[in-house]
Structure 1
């Protein structure tokens, strides 16, 4: 019994920070990381299809059919374009994609923690395992779907899920391995502040799009309600479809709020222009306007306020206004990149009918979003922040000395200056130093020949008297002459 007890392996999750997991434990963790997101995602898609089938009218539930249909549904959740009866379907819901990314990131983070990975290099097997599993699973589904009504390109089914899984797993690994702290230490502080402000600006713009979409849908609630059918199954299916495509609609409204707008087939909705056209009859699109309104340009205050908010958040980033403007430019680049990604994933082909294609002008929307962040943000960051006065030329050397010092004690510096001033006041001329006036007088006496006489003058009173008489004789002598 003791031998059996000693042979049992310690659970991976209970390993200490300095204990390396065994090879068998590493294999189990990597296998769970590879299969966990695939099984969970496939089961979630199959559950949704089961609910739709059970609630729909005049349908016969088939477990095998649901499992087979869940494969293309899994590809659609990973943004792989499908062909339905020979018609392209590229407008795929973003909500399942966000869920798949979150699932892959969480799985990668958990696997890296269980394996005790302390750096991205140690977590590289986790990254490769999750990425490769998603790519291979998409390829298998694409090959199995050949000949069915719903097909997918095998190359696309291999590359796109692999790229999404790679991005999600990298984010999870980086987060748990402490890489953000290392990057923050090595990255420029202004650039880091700009990245955070850009993430804030993008979140605010998406929120503005969500608010405008919600208000437009609420004001058109009667039209939205008329789109639901009396049957519960059909209404549930339309409601579920609207929920899955909700992030797509929010991205389109975001493009409208910033100016460029969006299009669905012949319908083109822009801030300064409108062209009518047919739209799909789903409740998600019930809030679409029927004509242009003159008050629409007032909505441009939302992206302008977002730019002002970004500039206000960077007003204390640096004492130099030019450096603050550089941080605002970094934030604008982050917002522009986010608009490109969201716009690219939100649109696509929608069959070959009047609703094709659904598109957001990604290029124009990214440039406009960049300008909405940079122009008002730079204005606020420049004038709301501090302005460091230029140093005078004679103080440049002192400033350089203070910059080289780590810390300066103000009290000690004041005491040193006081002692220096006191020493200068108390200092007397040294006896060893020659007196310039004395040297001048000595030279004058030497020229007049009085140097010897001055030296012979006695210091006592008698000598002084005698000297006086001598001087009188000299004067008398001089008078006789």
Structure 2
């Protein structure tokens, strides 16, 4: 595909990613502006929508409450200004997935670099335009963060998608040179980088799945408390709709909190609070309905949730074990150990990123500290996944083809015949046990010149030893050897011993 066309399509992807994200915020806010607020100032609609979009792309937002609101609610003026930094990760997740898909399409079109640069520049330009046109007295943010953070959330997944697509289809450039370099590595180590990346992808998807299952279980178990908080909010239909949508975009954030809860370190719901399987210590929880999912107390049975990340590591180890390279029928330990340690370390890094993305402030005072901490979560996930990986990736398990099927004897050697084959065809086992090539085959297969074929003429002769056969086969072999008699010297230049009994045997030319 022409590079210009690839660049235009990538730019369109970036435009759609930004437009859909803004529209998801702008549509419900406009509905609330029309139905609920009535004569509200329309000039504040765009800054409010832009602030939510920026917050969803990890940009901290500074909020200043007006004096009239402080006087009406009796809020302490010292708490009038606070920061919102706990991101509704649904926006970032959508942008990242859309960008990754755009990068893959650019790579499959043969212009990965062109598509990545075009899409990233267009998205950065859109982020700049939104930041420059959405200033407001009540909501503010750092301009450089409002430009850089959204641009990175698009550019990094787009680059990963472009590299993945180029790796799959080739690019006649650096990716192909990297693959060629990996191909020149020793056979036991050539597949290690790919196994590590595949393992990290498996553990990441597995941990997200674990978090999703825990969130669903919490919604089912604590549904009554969530409904009670909804009723206590005293909002009309429009307010309930906006509140429900606001909680929905925070659903990925809750999933990451659930991952931290399962791993053990848990998360905080305010300063000096903790929610872990070992115990829950929280004060007054904000009246947000979805926070009703947080258990008021815990039981020791919840400590078994730590087995879920371990099971994720074991599943990844089982999948990777089937793809580890073999050498001479054996699996080298060093490559497998490298894969296990690398996957565990990178999974810990992914856990730290999960904590960074799902940590922040949701209000003034003690609410400035919510979410998991990166260090403890990274350490816990790394160790738990490492144990699971080691169980199946490093254990000396039997491999396919290692016993009874085939035993590698070198590039020029023939394979040993299995015991079952020797049992079914004792004559072949006898011929394989013969020490000299001049012995005559006693089978009824006739050659073209009406003389018994020699063992040396058999192209499919095996090297199976009669020792591998059972007692019945060995008895037949001994009986056959007892019938071997000396062969006259005029039959050929070979030794004086050889088989007899062929119906039409005659001297060899």
TM-score by length of 1: 0.70
In the alignment of these two chains, the number of paired residues is 391
Aligned to 2:375: 363
Question: For 1:279, what is the secondary structure of its paired residue?
Answer: coil
Q: Which has the higher helix share?
A: 1
Q: Does the 8 Å CA contact 1:201/1:306 hold for their aligned counterparts? A: yes
Question: For 1:92, what is the secondary structure of its paired residue?
Answer: coil
Residues 313-352 of structure 1 correspond to what in structure 2 (within 5 A)?
313-318=319-324, 319-320=330-331, 322=333, 323-352=335-364
Q: Does the 8 Å CA contact 1:315/1:384 hold for their aligned counterparts? A: no
Residue 128 of structure 2 is aligned to residue 139 of structure 1: yes
Residues 86-105 of structure 1 correspond to what in structure 2 (within 5 A)?
86-105=81-100
Aligned to 1:42: 22
Residue 199 of structure 2 is aligned to residue 197 of structure 1: yes
Question: For 2:294, what is the secondary structure of its paired residue?
Answer: coil
**Cα distance between partner residues in 2 of 1:110 and 1:92:** 29
Aligned to 2:62: 83
**1:249, distance to aligned residue in structure 2 (A):** 1.0
**1:32, distance to aligned residue in structure 2 (A):** 3.3
**Cα distance between partner residues in 1 of 2:319 and 2:12:** 43
Residues 52-451 of structure 1 correspond to what in structure 2 (within 5 A)?
52-54=32-34, 57-60=36-39, 64-85=43-64, 86-110=81-105, 117-118=109-110, 122-179=111-168, 186=182, 188-228=190-230, 229-230=233-234, 231-266=236-271, 267-318=273-324, 319-320=330-331, 322=333, 323-383=335-395, 385-386=397-398, 403=410, 405=412, 408=414, 420=436, 422=438
**Cα distance between partner residues in 2 of 1:30 and 1:242:** 31
**Cα distance between partner residues in 2 of 1:312 and 1:144:** 52
Distance 1:426 1:46, change over 3 A: farther
Distance 1:111 1:45, change over 3 A: farther
Q: Does the 8 Å CA contact 1:79/1:92 hold for their aligned counterparts? A: yes
**1:336, distance to aligned residue in structure 2 (A):** 1.6
Question: For 2:367, what is the secondary structure of its paired residue?
Answer: coil
Distance 1:279 1:105, change over 3 A: same
**1:356, distance to aligned residue in structure 2 (A):** 1.6
Q: Does the 8 Å CA contact 2:100/2:159 hold for their aligned counterparts? A: yes
Distance 1:278 1:321, change over 3 A: farther
Q: Does the 8 Å CA contact 2:7/2:114 hold for their aligned counterparts? A: no
**1:314, distance to aligned residue in structure 2 (A):** 3.4
Q: Deviations over 1:118-168 (max 9, x none)?
A: 2xxx43232222222333333333333345321111111222122112112
Q: Does the 8 Å CA contact 2:58/2:87 hold for their aligned counterparts? A: yes
Q: Does the 8 Å CA contact 1:217/1:287 hold for their aligned counterparts? A: yes
**Cα distance between partner residues in 2 of 1:52 and 1:175:** 42
**Structure 1 gap segments, 5+ residues each:** 1-16, 391-398, 429-481
Q: Deviations over 1:355-381 (max 9, x none)?
A: 121131211111111111112321233
**Cα distance between partner residues in 2 of 1:361 and 1:253:** 13
Distance 1:30 1:291, change over 3 A: closer
Q: Does the 8 Å CA contact 1:304/1:373 hold for their aligned counterparts? A: yes
Q: Deviations over 1:277-313 (max 9, x none)?
A: 2222112111212234232212222223223323333
**Cα distance between partner residues in 2 of 1:190 and 1:28:** 37
Which of the pair has more CA radius of gyration? 1
**Structure 2 gap segments, 5+ residues each:** 65-80, 171-175, 184-189, 325-329, 403-407, 418-429, 440-485, 490-509
Q: Does the 8 Å CA contact 1:33/1:111 hold for their aligned counterparts? A: no
Distance 1:27 1:347, change over 3 A: closer
**1:234, distance to aligned residue in structure 2 (A):** 2.3
TM-score by length of 2: 0.67
